[in-house]
Amino acid sequence: MNYFPDEVLEHVFDFITSHKDRNSVSLVCKSWYKIEKYSRQRVFIGNCYSISPERLIARFPGLKSLTLKGKPHFADFNLVPDDWGGFLYPWIKAMARSRIGLEELRLKRMVVSDESLELLSKSFPNFKSLVLVSCEGFTTDGLAAVAANCRLLRELDLQENEVEDHRGHWLSCFPENCTSLVLLNFACLKGEINLASLERLVARSPNLKSLRLNRAVPFDTLQRLLMRAPQLVDLGTGSYVHDPYSEAYNKLKAAIQSCNSIRSLSGFLEVAPRCMSAVYPVCENLTFLNLSYAAGLQSIELTKLIQYCRKLQRLWILDCIGDKGLGVVASTCKELQELRVFPSDPFDAGNAAVTEEGLVLVSAGCPKLNSLLYFCQQMTNAALITVAKNCTNFIRFRLCILDPIKPDPVTNQPLDEGFGAIVRSCKGLKRLSLSGLLTDQVFYYIGMHAKQLEMLSIAFAGDSDKGMLYVLNGCKKLRKLEIRDCPFGDAALLEDMGKYETMRSLWMSSCEVTLGACKTLAKKMPSLNVEIINESEQTEFNLEDRQKVDKMYLYRTVVGHRKDAPEFVWLL
Amino acid sequence: MSSENGKLLPETDAGGLNFEATELTLGLPGESRVTSDGVAKLGSKRGFSETVDLSLGDNKNTNKFGQSQIDVPEAAKSPVSKAQVVGWPPVRGYAKRRTKSCKYVKVAVDGAPYLRKVDLEMYNTYQQLLTSLEDMFSCFTIRNYLSDKKLDQVNGIEYVPTYEDKDGDWMLVGDVPWQMFVESCKRLRLMKSSEAVGLAPRTPPKCSSAS
């Protein structure tokens, strides 16, 4: 099979970057497997318990860039107890021991200890990029170690992590000769930082393209930072509060005007609405605008700002923008691809400011729309049908009606037909989240039409096992299924056990599944880990087989039971 | 998020709403579907109405994790208050997006000549808050009821952390889930243990997960 020397094949393989393609390449023949194995640098592990660090290292000894995901998605909504798992340390320890030349680490929903950050910082001399998303377990001391020891650090990206702030001077730990920073995002940190150190760091980082500040960075510091970094492409402000009639404000206005590379804007964690006019000059070139933390801005200010953003491709905003404001988005942002509307007051559904009207307007005005996350007070079938007609390109469609079992308020019908229209029309749909009153019918439509669907999130929906079966049978590309509070039980769970080997994971909580069925599944499918998360006082021995389990999480794995499960997680 | 499980946040509605119109039912009006258990419900047996204490007359006020419960009398006090289900709506970091983005409250200590202020949004757990208060008022001992651990004694006087809530009542710190506390706390007072007779429990309250 080999007409070329290995180096040539290796060079060809360099052009193959997608994980799926590289996996396919390694299946062609033994020699391709070997060449691919030693030349593979980037590895993505969607579930950290599907494989062990040791096997990873044996399989890909040339590993340079690793992506790891830990807790299941519903952990974001407090459905998974702390200490469930997803610990980073064993991975760092194993890679350090095997002298892996790690350069990049991307983590999502992992538990990251200061110890692991410290070990990381000392074990990989070429380490360049650390991206932590929705992680927890570390403090600013861990960050200090990374800052101090990673001499070639280019990216430190902290997105929505829970970080214990020791108010240390972690920023000051970047050595004076560290000039390699390209991306620095510490917006999620709650504590004070050393402003002088920050300014010096930015001043000596000529390659800095992305800077996202936390709330502790005041207005005047922002101005000085912008003066030092006019080359910024992505800016996240900290506190954005000042007197708009002051000298400092005029200085900021001038500073922003010299930043003509900014394409992405976020932050405004504290904001004085009257100061927003300073950013208008930047708006006309923005492709990404994230105002989802700017609770201080009302609809009027938001719409004024958005009217300048003609090139916007991604918009994250709070629902106080209102339906009318979304109308302004629809008429201004013709390039819009992604829209996320977050609830400003998620528990007060009565006051929610967007309805189906806003969504319909955006779908009509923004033909390129392909990704949606929409929290709203209500939705109608008619609106969804219209949206489906207007936008056939949806890849991600996540709708959250704040009252999760609310029917169509006009017809009082379930929303089956509306979602049915979406899956029928959007043939490329990969991710779907449902809400509102839904019967088994919607799952019939999903199984019938959503042939590219990879991830499905269901809550308070369906009537019977049939619903779940439609999905399992019809969605051939399904990878992740997460279900809460639905009447799906043992029959649905056990009908096609082999299906779960084709998926990454299944989460079911507050459904009708019994312990006995979970045990059966675990016994028949050794390639799956079936975990029961049980937070009541009952032990494994007290709970009878016919009793329902509160939370079940199962996933395919090649390494069997994990050894780090806490007491409240039963591995069947 | 490192907050406790099972947190329920009572929400005082704007008021003036017709409660019946806002009451959630599982099922379309006029329809009744019966599960094998004979319970007339649409949807999951442990459906929305079981996990949420909605009706003012309803006495189902257990939550899944045995933690702080919404008392019916409590709900009756604030008319049209809604309880929430764990993890709904599915929005991460909602606390950071709320309109009140920082929450400074006064801290008074019995016997101290002046008050301090702390930003409750700076902390994720009771432990962090109490540790911080201890740093601030370093010559006092704060009795930590959550872990029943006596923090290091310096001058032998113990203090009980209390707070004034939205209703004007003085409450013992630590009973309710952290986020609920942040929402309802107006100010803090470290009360001398000796004065807290009858208020402070002899044994610490049971919390099923450490804050």
Closest chain A residue to the Cα of B97, Cα to Cα? A293
The reply to whether residue B45 touches residue A487, judged by beta carbons under 8 angstroms, is yes
How far CA A55 is from CA of A48, A85, A138, A557, B53, in Å, comes to: 12, 19, 26, 12, 49
Q: Does residue A526 contact residue A498 with C-beta atoms inside 8 Å?
A: no
Average pLDDT of the residues in B33-45? 39
The reply to whether residue A78 touches residue B84, judged by beta carbons under 8 angstroms, is no
The reply to whether residue A295 touches residue B101, judged by beta carbons under 8 angstroms, is yes
pLDDT tens, B143-182? 554 444 444 444 456 778 899 988 888 888 888 888 788 8
Mapped to the 3 state alphabet, what secondary structure does A507-528 carry?
EEECCECEHHHHHHHHHHCCCE
Chain A residues 445-484 within an 8 A CB cutoff of chain B: 457, 459-463, 484
Q: Which of B54, B82, B97 best probes binding to A when mutated, by most A CB atoms within 10 angstroms? A: B97
The reply to whether residue B97 touches residue A348, judged by beta carbons under 8 angstroms, is no
Q: Chain centroid to CA A270: how far?
A: 24
Q: What pLDDT sits at residue A392?
A: 97
DSSP strand E in A201-282: where? 210-212, 234-236, 239-240, 264-266, 270-271
Task: Please tell me the distance from the alpha carbon of residue A35 to that of residue A7, in angstroms, as a whole number.
Answer: 9
| Residue B211: band (very low, low, confident or very high) from pLDDT cuts 50, 70, 90 | very low
Chain B residues with CB-CB distance to A413 below 8 A: 28
Chain B residues with CB-CB distance to A345 below 8 A: 98-99
Is pLDDT at B53 greater than 70 in this prediction? no
**The two three-digit tokens of residue A370, written as one number:** 């392909």
**The two three-digit tokens of residue A88, written as one number:** 């980073």
Task: Please tell me the distance from the alpha carbon of residue A120 to that of residue A130, in angstroms, as a whole number.
Answer: 10
Q: What pLDDT sits at residue B10?
A: 40
Contact A7/B at CB under 8 A:
no
DSSP-based three-state secondary structure for A299: helix
Mapped to the 3 state alphabet, what secondary structure does A152-196 carry?
CCCEEEEECCEEECCCCCHHHHCCCCCCCCCEEECCCCCCCCCHH
ipTM of the complex: 0.82
Q: Does residue A459 contact residue A486 with C-beta atoms inside 8 Å?
A: yes
Q: What kind and span of H or E run contains B130? A: helix B126-136
pLDDT tens, B120-145? 877 777 888 888 887 777 655 555 54
The reply to whether residue B98 touches residue A344, judged by beta carbons under 8 angstroms, is yes
pLDDT tens, A258-297? 999 999 999 998 888 888 999 999 999 999 999 999 887 8
Q: Does residue A311 contact residue A288 with C-beta atoms inside 8 Å?
A: no
DSSP-based three-state secondary structure for A418: helix
Contact A535/B at CB under 8 A:
yes
The reply to whether residue A342 touches residue B208, judged by beta carbons under 8 angstroms, is no
How far CA B80 is from CA of A74, A341, A429, B20, in Å, comes to: 29, 27, 40, 10
Contact A192/B at CB under 8 A:
no
Q: Which residue has the tokens 């801005």?
A: A297
Q: Does residue A267 contact residue A241 with C-beta atoms inside 8 Å?
A: no
Range from A372-376, A563-567, B11-15, B183-187 carrying the lowest mean pLDDT: B11-15
DSSP-based three-state secondary structure for A200: helix
The reply to whether residue A164 touches residue B65, judged by beta carbons under 8 angstroms, is no
Contact A568/B at CB under 8 A:
no
Q: What pLDDT sits at residue A127?
A: 97
How far CA A324 is from CA of A288, A321, A360, A383, in Å, comes to: 21, 7, 11, 16
Q: What are phi and psi of B103, to 5 degrees?
A: -125, 90
Bridge partners of A211, per DSSP, are A184, A235
| Residue B71: band (very low, low, confident or very high) from pLDDT cuts 50, 70, 90 | very low
Task: Please tell me the distance from the alpha carbon of residue A259 to that of residue A239, in angstroms, as a whole number.
Answer: 19
The reply to whether residue A76 touches residue B92, judged by beta carbons under 8 angstroms, is yes
Size of chain B in residues = 211
Task: Please tell me the distance from the alpha carbon of residue B77 to that of residue B15, in angstroms, as a whole number.
Answer: 12
The reply to whether residue B44 touches residue A460, judged by beta carbons under 8 angstroms, is yes
Chain B residues with CB-CB distance to A292 below 8 A: 97
Is the CA virtual torsion A54, A55, A57, A63 positive or negative?
Answer: negative
Q: Cα distance from B151 to chain A (closest Cα, Å)?
A: 19
Q: Identify which of B90, B128, B209 has the shortest CB distance to residue A400.
A: B90
pLDDT tens, A167-212? 768 999 999 999 999 999 999 998 888 999 999 999 999 999 999 9
Contact A335/B at CB under 8 A:
no
Closest chain B residue to the Cα of A351, Cα to Cα? B14
Q: Identify which of A162, A343, A414 has the shortest CB distance to residue B91.
A: A343
Closest chain B residue to the Cα of A188, Cα to Cα? B96
- Chunked in runs of 10, what are the mean pLDDT values of chain A (572 residues)? 80 91 93 92 96 96 97 94 94 96 97 97 97 96 96 96 86 94 95 92 97 92 95 94 83 92 93 88 96 88 95 96 96 97 73 87 97 96 97 97 92 97 98 97 98 97 96 97 96 96 97 95 96 76 83 96 92 90
User: Which of left, alpha, beta for B16 (phi over 0: left; psi -120 to 50: alpha)?
Assistant: left
Q: What pLDDT sits at residue A113?
A: 97
DSSP-based three-state secondary structure for A256: helix
Is the CA virtual torsion A278, A282, A283, A287 positive or negative?
Answer: negative
Q: Does residue A487 contact residue B33 with C-beta atoms inside 8 Å?
A: no
